[in-house]
Amino acid sequence: MLKSPTIQKQHLIIFTRYPEPGKTKTRLIPVLGNVGAANLQQQMTEHTVLQARELQKETAISPEVRFAGGNVQLMQDWLGLGLVYQPQSGGDLGDRMIKSLADALKSGAEYVIIIGTDCPELNAQILATAFEQLHTHDLILGPAIDGGYYLIGLRQPIAELFANIEWGTNQVFQQTMGIAEKLNLLHWELPVLADVDRPEDLPIWQPFAK
């Protein structure tokens, strides 16, 4: 039986969805179709995992894929071995992120970063900077142009940062920052990057498309 990869002190969690047509990138289905939207999800996830593998060449991290849809076998067949695979828990995005963060810290991680797969400009260098800054800051955030964030890094499970957030709106980053300031968290902001969520965002992906 294959052993799961060892959890490193620096742990990277990638939130994604198994690319089943009709169930992923639904806001892009009107322009790409069910299969086209699923193909985009597949390519963007593979691009993000590649950045994690590039980072592994430079520093000790353990990448984890938190997935919705599919199962562990399907995910391994798709993205390969050497990654930790865990299904996403229930609840809203905040519930799922805090659960993944708490699980990682309980498993021995000390510096945990969570990202999605919607931001093609997020590369190994930015991830390396995020981990570096997390050693001396309580919170790392990567703000997105649409008002959300593409990355969050923490050293402890601060549930308040994930509660009462209007997920999917342009208020997510500001609401999170407001909570961080109330809690007096020492934070670091990464460069503002663009997500690919809607039809008008598709040109962002073009330079990275295969």
Q: What is the pLDDT of residues 80-134, one digit of tens each?
A: 988 999 999 999 999 999 999 999 999 999 999 999 999 999 999 999 999 999 9
Give the model's pLDDT for residue 1. Answer: 37
Give the model's pLDDT for residue 38. Answer: 97
**Phi-psi region at 125: left, alpha or beta (left = phi > 0; alpha = psi -120 to 50):** alpha
**161 burial class (0-12, 13-18, 19+ CB within 10 angstroms)?**
buried
In a domain, 124, yes or no: yes
In a domain, 59, yes or no: yes
In a domain, 1, yes or no: no
Domain harbouring 34, CATH code: 3.90.550.10
In a domain, 206, yes or no: no
In a domain, 91, yes or no: yes
User: Which residues does the chain have with pLDDT short of 50?
Assistant: 1-3
- Residue the block writes with tokens 């050293």: 155
In a domain, 182, yes or no: yes
In a domain, 134, yes or no: yes
How far apart (Å, rounded) are the C-alpha atoms in residues 34 and 23? 8
Q: How many domains would you assign to the chain?
A: 1
Q: How are beta strands 149-154 and 111-115 bridged, if at all? A: antiparallel
In a domain, 163, yes or no: yes
Give the model's pLDDT for residue 154. Answer: 98
19 is in which domain, residue-wise?
10-200
Give the model's pLDDT for residue 4. Answer: 60
Mind spelling out the 3-state secondary structure of the chain? Answer: CCCCCCCCCEEEEEEEECCCCCCCCHHHHHHHHHHHHHHHHHHHHHHHHHHHHHHHCCCCCEEEEEEECCCHHHHHHHHCCCCEEEECCCCCHHHHHHHHHHHHHHCCCCEEEEECCCCCCCCHHHHHHHHHHHCCCCEEEEEECCCCEEEEEECCCCHHHHCCCCCCCCCHHHHHHHHHHHCCCCEEECCCECCCCCHHHHHHHHHHCC
Length of the chain as a residue count? 210
